Amino acid sequence: MIKVAICGAFGRMGTTIAGIVNKDPDMQLVGGVDVQEGELFGAPVVPAEKFASLLAEKKPDIVIDFTVAAASVQNIPVAAAAGCSIILGTTGLTTEQRKVIDDAIAKAKVSAVISSNYSIGMNILWLLIREAAKRLGDYDIEVTEAHHRYKKDAPSGTAKTILEILQQEVGPREEVYGREGMKERGNEIGVHVIRGGDIVGDHEVMFASNFETVSLSHRAYDRGVFAEGAVRATKWVIGKKPGIYGMKDVLGL
């Protein structure tokens, strides 16, 4: 039985993951953290200042974090120090925040999966984007992403991963975030962010040349796709050697 605690338990991702864990005969939701105290599927949810005592009492094998960067950077070191494996899905971390988390995981010698996107489809799309970029490096490249009106970080973590892949294959290129006014297109990658309604997550990379465009895109219809991926990563990472893995390791890509 895998004992799970969720940071951001009352959030969109937290509740979706809790629902899957609750139905899984091999997993048990033992607690959660959120800004408000409460209960989720009978498990206690506590504020961050009571997280360490929740860990000591419930002894989860793994902590799954889908919160905000400022919360992850506080909660992950506490979870790692308690010997828990980690699944981190929160996006929008600064380089410094990511380093704090990486150092805490290394110091505690626990296993962790960190990914900006837990869907299988997006992980495959990242491979396809890399292949396309290797061959279409002289094309103009534009990245577009769209999310629901409540998403705070922009561009999305997934779009940042796409940009990293593109920069590795065709860079360095200037990243131009939206355009306005009079300016010729340079040796750049255009990045466009849409926020509205309840869009779960759309990403597209367009390679454009004279007479043709190639578009690679992914659309998530339900955040269950990320939650299922996070649960798959949870089952995979338990018992793995200490270190930080990605979804490509989980999926054997």
Ligand X SMILES: NC(=O)c1ccc[n+]([C@@H]2O[C@H](COP(=O)([O-])OP(=O)(O)OC[C@H]3O[C@@H](n4cnc5c(N)ncnc54)[C@H](O)[C@@H]3O)[C@@H](O)[C@H]2O)c1
Whose Cβ is closer to ligand X: residue 218's or residue 223's? 223
- Taking the complex as a whole, the smallest distance from the CB of residue 193 to ligand X amounts, in Å, to 13
Give the residue among 93, 145, 130 at the shortest CA–CA distance from 114.
93
Is residue 147 among the annotated active site residues?
Answer: yes
User: If binding is defined by CB under 6 A, does position 11 make contact with ligand X?
Assistant: yes
> Which x/- pattern over 24-63 shows residues binding ligand X (rule: CB under 6 A)?
---------xxx------------x---------------
Contact of 52 with 82, CB cutoff 8 Å = yes
| Residue 115 touching ligand X (CB under 6 A) | yes
Question: Catalytic pick from 3, 50, 148, 151?
Answer: 151
Q: Is 203 part of the annotated catalytic residue set?
A: no
User: Rounded to whole angstroms, what are the CA distances from 145 to 134, 154, 171, 186, 217?
Assistant: 22, 9, 20, 21, 10
Q: What is the dihedral of CA 222, 114, 123, 135, to 10 degrees?
A: 140
- Set 99, 147, 240, 241: catalytic member: 147
Q: Is 71 in the site for ligand X (CB under 6 A)?
A: yes
H-type alpha helices, the chain: 12-23, 51-58, 69-81, 95-108, 120-135, 157-170, 224-237, 247-251
CB of 165 to ligand X, least distance (A): 16
**For the chain, what is the radius of gyration of the CA atoms?**
19
- Residue 155 as a binder of ligand X (CB under 6 A): the answer is no
- Window 76-105: residues binding ligand X (CB under 6 A): 89-92
Contact (CB, 8 A) for 171 and 163: no
The residues carrying an active-site annotation are: 147, 151
Binding residues for ligand X (CB under 6 A): 7-8, 10-14, 33-35, 48, 66-68, 71, 75, 89-92, 115-118, 153, 157, 223, 226
